[in-house]
Structure 1
Amino acid sequence: MDFYKGEPSILLAVDCIIFGFNGESLELLLIKRGIEPERNKWSLMGGFVQPTESPEGAASRVLKELTGLENVYMDHCGIFGDPKRESHERVVSMAYVALIDTHKYEHIISDHYEAKWFPLDKHPDLIFDHDQMITTAKRALRTKAALYPILFELLPEKFTIPQIASLYECVYNIELDKRNFSRKLLSSDLIIKLKEKDKENSKKGAFYYRLNTDIYKEKIMSFLRYLPSWSMENE
């Protein structure tokens, strides 16, 4: 029996907003779209949900097709369904934000796509409502980062204090007092000092640290109170 006979047909898609951190700035992974409409224009990586897939499964497949990666941090960040978002068909898209360490994964980007990392604040014009998706993903990232250690997904397992300071500045669009930031971060016990030093980026060398995952949830909120205020207008 055809229970839904006469109901409209709507395509369900997923789009992945892939953020990366290169040690100094946030970046966005984009592709040149290989199909019509909007062929050869810059786009987020996306695809349609197949009959045997969940939206989460489709997003994981799309990410793997582009980067070769599995088990990457990914989270749903919005549904985009304006009837006029695409002119040829009615398409509703579920957007997912993914976090990648660009240095670790840049060498396995798929050759099937013309993919490129762009500075988050200097990327080219995008198709459809993809700019709106990016704005939504940034808001979701800021909110989630205040509660969980997700920003460390953008960092190597061991990192320096200047690296994490730059990351927070990029994500929250703020300027930190580096000395005060370092002092508050060290006093929070959120990070554990290692014996190794990063000697590539400074003559003296900066000590590496790792996240103290045992106390992150307990300490992160008190630490974030020391950050300068930020607002959604500063996109």
Structure 2
Amino acid sequence: MVKSLDYIFPDPPAGLDPAALDRTRVPESVAVIMDGNGRWAKKRALNRLRGHKAGIEAVRETIRCASDLGVRYLTIYSFSTENWKRPEDEVVGLMDLFAKTMLAEVDGLHAEGVRVRTIGDLSPLPAETREAFDAAWEKTRDNEGMTLVVAVNYGGRQEILRATAACMREAALMAEETGEVLEPTEEMFERGLYTCGMPDPDLVIRTSGEMRVSNFLLWQIAYSEFVVTDTLWPDFDRYEFLRCLLEYQGRNRRFGGVA
């Protein structure tokens, strides 16, 4: 059932008009760099893990709103390959939080038809965390609604190296079979990406005002639109998401062509 904009945005703040959103131009794929949990906690004299816990509601809100609006793919950057450098207690707490949150949320996501998948190398994660993500995939894999992509232990440079190795193996195998040395193609390379079969992000949102991509989807965001908001992630809600979508819809996407 298609939900009305009034239902999705029941109490917009002054100056923000949900009716300005063109539902025929909602991006197919949105990626979010969820930043600012630590600063949110510091402002309140709390430890960083409390900030991560506070960010869960923002994740719920964004998933629900994106799904209701017809976004087909929502990718959230949960844990990068560089995040292992954080204090051990924070990393351990995050891994436990991932497992508990996924187990608590999967039934609701399944009921809404959301499909859950991960990108990144899950092998170094604790067994309980891996199992929670695997269970979510198995439960929701046949759903036909929005795909929620959780990037965990993900790094764009590492993904490119991984895809390059796969591309080289494929080219070598084809050379053995045909006797011809073939030039690698973008299609061959993309088959080695974690995101194989998914559309590239139309829109990348970064919270907390930082102006960097942080090793996120480096191949895939070549022509994505970027919207940066000063809002810290735990304070991000459906109305902030609406503002990002409206800014996106105000862009002229030329993909290197003429305006």
- Normalising by structure 2, what TM-score? 0.23
**Relative contact order, higher structure (CA 8 A, sep 6+):** 2
